[in-house]
A and B are shown apart, each in its own frame.
Chain A
């Protein structure tokens, strides 16, 4: 599969979209910068190191922590479901919904559930699943997939939203953003209060206390996990951290990295159904631990660090490539730099072999990653793997290497190359499609040096 050139061209040519992507990610990027500035947050670099170490440790002993989590969830009256695949996770939920006659399901934002196409699967069984995060709700109505890990509708304007609400909800066309949000509040409130099951993801799973940690600003996750009788969490294996006491390190990094907030409006820590005497909260509590390819990544010690990701979105906001092509031009649900790294690992490098090459390796992502994932390093490893399987440029590099070990030959070949620079062939044509190429200088440095020494 080659890069979606024409889709990318369309995105680049869409001036409104370009402005939306660039300015919105720019705003998030600036908020983050201010929040982690050394005078404001001097412990930033230290916390990054600690967070990376905690994640590395947890992944290195994941079997132990998974069992600890299961034990703690059970102690709290909940149940852990182990799902090797997305289908298994979906099948469990479908069966549960059927058994409990819960035809209405509310969901808070979860990339993991997007990954396994949960909504599509549920829809096949006539279960109404409603996204409750405002951006996701709008996208659900519009039939689109998320554009950005954190701000799914970052590419839509108020006019887009007004159109969607008008067409899908039958309400009058209204471009006032506050009104649009209140419409969503009104419509979704009824869903929360009548749903039989609430499905959330998890930002973190606390092994010692069996806690599911969900971080949000709207309150829809709180409602999703509190109002319906059943709460189901779908979480990848990598979400674990050892203890509740490890949470401050991660919370300090997550909010600031994502939106520049020290803490988001709501951080929920839940485990198990309502306790004896509690007046509300779910009566049934399930945590679905999802593999769906994660054990494969875990098995590769060089690539394992990609599982450290806490889904903050900072790398997307920093990436000059993402800020041009946006989330929809990436082949999978995870876009941006982290998407470039995990997509080939989950889906196989041969599916979109262009993806790890669609980077200038500028390193902005690694600079902002709160858990110190070396994304450029991982991209280089993927590139190595891809060309080993499919070395289409090998002969060029063989020739190049041969020349580069022989200075005389190199100088000669380069001289010829300079003479041909005026022609519009191959890479020269590709270069010139976007910018001018300078005229070749008549003499190389070595020529000038020789002259000088005379």
Chain B
């Protein structure tokens, strides 16, 4: 008997269950979805974000805000249509959708992405892997900037999961909830930022209309 069968049989025996026996349904999931106004969410997000938040009126202003944040540093940007709409690839020093993604990310000073959504209650940026948003972009460079339309600002994870019950599926291999910079307290419990992931996080939220999720 191979291990798969052996383990399943041991599990069933341990539980006194038969092959194919139906389970009881699980307890109802608890999704504490709280609907807040955009203003309330912005206030909450600003307070919770471990990083800087810039709120801009439109896509053009977003481009300016990012240029200011870059302060002359080189950056790699994703191919996300929202970043294109904000003119990010045109900012001097920004390489959008590079040929050699890995090496460009490994050497860039800043990584610029959009986001799947933002979570106000915890100051979280949610990224979902897709052809336009590779994983390493928000991970290898020491600084991460996320440019996100306001209507992607949700209240909390519960709300996101009630909208997207499958964080990963045929469309996406990975979702990551980013709450603040990379950190460690492993040595003497002294906090150090930017150990492996970015040490600084900046979010630019753009007011005004946007394409659907």
Contact = CB atoms under 8 A, between A and B. Distances in A.
Interface of A: 20, 24, 27, 43, 47, 50, 53-54, 57-58, 60-64, 66-67, 75-76, 82-84, 88, 132-135, 138, 151-154, 156-158, 161, 177-178, 180-181, 184-185, 188-189, 192-193, 208-211, 217-220, 222-223, 225-227, 237, 242-249, 251, 259, 261-275, 277-281, 285, 289, 291, 295-296, 298-299
Interface string B153-181: 00011100110011111111111111111
Contacts of A161: 187
Contacts of A54: 26-27
Nearest to A251: B157
Contacts of A289: 7
A275 B139 CA distance: 19
A274 B195 contact: no
Given A24-B189, A53-B27, A280-B134, A61 B173 contact: no
A185 B195 contact: yes
Contacts, number: 259
A180 B195 CA distance: 10
B26 A265 contact: no
Contact of B173 (A58, A251, A274): A274
A196 to B, nearest CB: 15
Given A76-B170, A275-B170, A275-B171, A245 B184 contact: no
Contacts of B102: 193, 227, 280
Interface string B116-144: 00000110100001110011100110000
Interface in B10-46: 10-15, 17, 23-24, 26-27, 29-32
Interface residues of B, number: 72
A132 B184 CA distance: 12
B173 A76 contact: yes
Contact of B136 (A62, A226, A244, A291): A226
B129 A281 contact: yes
A67 B187 CA distance: 41
Nearest to B194: A185
Interface of B: 2-4, 6-8, 10-15, 17, 23-24, 26-27, 29-32, 101-102, 106, 121-122, 124, 129-131, 134-136, 139-140, 156-158, 161-162, 165-190, 192, 194-198
Contacts of B134: 278-281
B26 A58 contact: yes
A82 B10 CA distance: 12
